[in-house]
Structure 1
C-alpha cells in the first residue's frame, strides 16, 4: 500500500520489506512474515492471484531473506554496526534482492529505482531501532552500550507508525501501475492478464468470495478513502495476528522437540 511514483516512467513502486523483516526477525521468521502478508493480500484484498502466490513468495521473500540478508547485509555489517554501515547495507542488499526477484519476471530497470527508495526507507527504520534498542537487530554484537529503552516502547512506536501509514499515508499512494503492471502493459497494452484456463477461473472465484475489500476498497466507496484506511489498519492487524500465531506454533514445536530430546538423552 506504500506506493510511490517513479518520475519519468508512468510507473510506481511499493515497499517489499524482506530485508527489514530479516534484519529484525531473522531470515526464517522474516520469510514467514512476508508469506503471511502475501497470503492476506491475496485472499482478503484480491491483490495478486492464487496461482502467482508461490512466485511472489520467492521473488519478494526468498531472495531478500535467504540471499540478500545473509550474503550482503550481514557481510557489510560483519565488522560492526554504525548508522552509515546500516544505511549502506540496507540499500545494497535491497537493490540486489529486488534485482534478483525482478530477473524472475524480466523487469530489472524499473526495479532498480524501486530498490533505491526501499533501501533508504529500510535503512532509516533500522537506524532508528539501532539508536533506540540495537540488540533488536539480528547480528548486533553488543559492542556499543545504548540507553536502556524497553522493547515495548520500540514496538509501540512501530505499531503507531504502521497504523498511521496504513490508515493515512496510504490514501496518498501513487495511482500509477506498479512495476509488474507497468511491464505487462508495455507488452500487452493492459495491466491485467486474461484468465485462460478453468483452473484460473476456479481460483479466481475463490479469491472473489474471500476478498472482503477487493483492491483495498469498499464497493460502495466511490472515493476509495474509507476502504483504503480500513484496509491499511485491518490488514496490518491481521498480519500481526497471523505472524504471532505462526511464531507461537513454531515455539511450541521447538519446545516439544527439545523436551523429547532431553528425555531420550
Structure 2
C-alpha cells in the first residue's frame, strides 16, 4: 500500500507529514516514560523482521493481485503501540529512501496509512482489549484477524481519501474505493492469520516476549535475538526470491480503474514530484530491491539482508540518539 508521489499534492503531503510527526513525537514521549531499556534490541530485530517479511508478496487467489505483510500490528503486540509506531517509521523510511518503495512526498501518508491505524486502532482499540482476559489461541486468531482487517480497511480508505483530496489523477473516487476495499479485505485476513500464527508460536514458546499492552515485561533476549536474526536473514535473503510478481493491492486497484499501474500526475504538481524523484534517485541505491540496471536475483537477496540491517541500525541508533531509554537502576514499575 505504498503510495507514489503522483497520487498526491504537496498540501496533502505536508498535512500527513505533520500528522505523522505529531504522532511520532507523542510516541517518543510515551516510550521515554516506559523506560524499558530491554526494548532497544527488540525494536531493532523486530523491525528488521518486518522489513524482511514485507519483501514477500503473496498471491491473492483468483484476482491477479498480490499483497504483502505490513507488520504494524505485530510490532505493536510485541513492543506496544508507541515503540511499534516508531519502528514502522524506520522501516518505511528505509524502503522509501534506499529502495524507492513509496514516494518521498507520500512518506507521511504511508506512515499514517500503514503504521498509525495498525498500532493505534488495530492494536490499541481492538486487539489489546480483546485479549486482556482471553488468550486462548482461537480468540487470539479472531482478535488478530479482526484488528488486521480493520487496520487495512482504514488504510485503504485513507489512500482513496488522500487521492481524492489531491485531485491530480484521473482516478474515480467511487471506482477506486470499490477496488481498494475488497482487495485489502483479503490482504487483511491473510495478514491477520500470519500475525496470529507468529503470536501464538511466541506465546507457547516464550510467553514473556509478548507485550500484551504492557511495557513492564522482564525479558530474556539473547536466544530470541539470535534466532530471530537468523530468521531475518533467511527471509530477507532467501524467501524474498519467491515473492509474487503480481501487482500489489494498490497497483492492482489503479490498474483496474485506469488500465495501467502507472499514474500520470497533473502538470501543476509535476515540479514537486520531479524534485522528490531527483532526491530519491540519489538516495535509492537499490531501486525496486535490486542492483541498478540489473535483473539479477542476487540484488534481491542483497537488498533483503542489507535493508534489514539498515532498519535495525536506524531503530537502535534513534533509540540511543533520542535517549528513549536510560539506565536508572529501577525497573519501570519503580520509576
Deviation at 1:57, TM superposition (A): 0.6
Structure 2 distance, partners of 1:157, 1:121, is 18
1:96-135 aligned within 5 A: 96-104=150-158, 105=160, 106=177, 107-135=180-208
Q: Secondary structure of 1:51's partner?
A: coil
Structure 2 distance, partners of 1:169, 1:236, is 14
1:27 and 2:97 matched: no
1:174 and 2:244 matched: yes
Unaligned residue ranges in structure 1 (runs of 5+): 142-148, 257-265
Q: 1:234 corresponds to which residue?
A: 306
Q: Give 4+ residue runs of structure 1 displaced > 4 Å after superposition.
A: 253-256
Deviation at 1:253, TM superposition (A): 5.4
Deviation at 1:221, TM superposition (A): 3.0
Structure 2 distance, partners of 1:219, 1:179, is 25
Distance 1:249-1:177 versus aligned 2 partners, 3 A rule: same
CA shift digits 1:203-255 (9 cap, x unpaired): 10100111110001113433x300100011011111111111122234x2564
The correspondence for 2:127, drawn from 67, 70, 73, is 73
CA shift digits 1:144-197 (9 cap, x unpaired): xxxxx9422122222211211111111010000000111111222221222441
Moved more, 98-107 or 6-15: 98-107
Deviation at 1:122, TM superposition (A): 0.6
Deviation at 1:84, TM superposition (A): 2.5
Q: Secondary structure of 1:5's partner?
A: strand
The correspondence for 1:219, drawn from 282, 292, 298, is 292
Q: Secondary structure of 2:133's partner?
A: coil
Q: 1:82 corresponds to which residue?
A: 136
Structure 1 distance, partners of 2:108, 2:186, is 25
Structure 2 distance, partners of 1:29, 1:67, is 15
Q: Secondary structure of 2:106's partner?
A: helix
Deviation at 1:82, TM superposition (A): 2.9
How does the TM-score come out when normalised to structure 2?
0.70
How does the TM-score come out when normalised to structure 1?
0.88
Q: 1:56 corresponds to which residue?
A: 110
Structure 1 distance, partners of 2:130, 2:312, is 30
Deviation at 1:86, TM superposition (A): 2.2
Q: Secondary structure of 2:70's partner?
A: coil
The structure with higher relative contact order (CA 8 Å, sep 6+) is: 2
The CA RMSD measured in Å over matched residues stands at: 1.9
Unaligned residue ranges in structure 2 (runs of 5+): 1-54, 161-176, 328-335
Moved more, 230-239 or 193-202: 193-202
Q: Secondary structure of 2:186's partner?
A: helix
1:140-179 aligned within 5 A: 150-179=220-249
Structure 2 distance, partners of 1:22, 1:53, is 20
